[in-house]
Amino acid sequence: MVGSSAGEIEGLGSGARLAGWRARVAEVLRRDPVAGRDPRAAERFERLLVRLASWVGDRREVAEAHLRVHADGLTFLVLTRSTRQDEAFDEALSALDVELACDGEVRFRVDVLALPRRADPGTILRDPLVSVPIVPR
């Protein structure tokens, strides 16, 4: 059921905000061909969001993060606080990419991408169908 892990992500609130978040989750799941056949898809998606929120919460380098939904998949987009490349941060992001790919409970293919804080994702990436802000836990 959508909502069991939602309470673990700070900032979702309740009422209209939570209903809006649930609508976004439903849209993501509707667009994913694998999720349509998985009765636990909503639970798995929540697990993904909680995992991303935890990862963001452990990183001071992150200015903001979003899970962007495109017709061809999911992208975890991180805007960093720095305008310079940080090798340690890049390694941590790569490790997250591998962990997500190997997590049999998530089952969503997620591309990970970091951009410097001054980058405008709209000029670099196409607009997503749905974008879910990832708020640190």
Query: Is 1 within the bounds of a domain?
Result: no
Instruction: Dump pLDDT digits (tens) for 74-114.
Output: 889 998 998 887 889 999 999 999 999 898 888 788 899 88
> What's the domain range around 53?
6-133
CATH number, residue 44? 3.30.300
**Structural domain tally of the chain?**
1
Cα-based distances in Å from 17 to 23, 38, 58, 121 = 10, 26, 25, 24
How much is the pTM?
0.73
What are the two backbone dihedrals, phi and then psi, of residue 69, each rounded to the nearest 5 degrees?
A: -105, 125
Q: How far is CA 105 from the centre of its chain?
A: 15
Residues 27-78 pLDDT 10s: 767 777 666 677 887 788 888 888 999 999 999 999 989 888 777 778 899 9
Pairing of strands 110-116, 73-80: parallel
Average pLDDT, the chain: 76
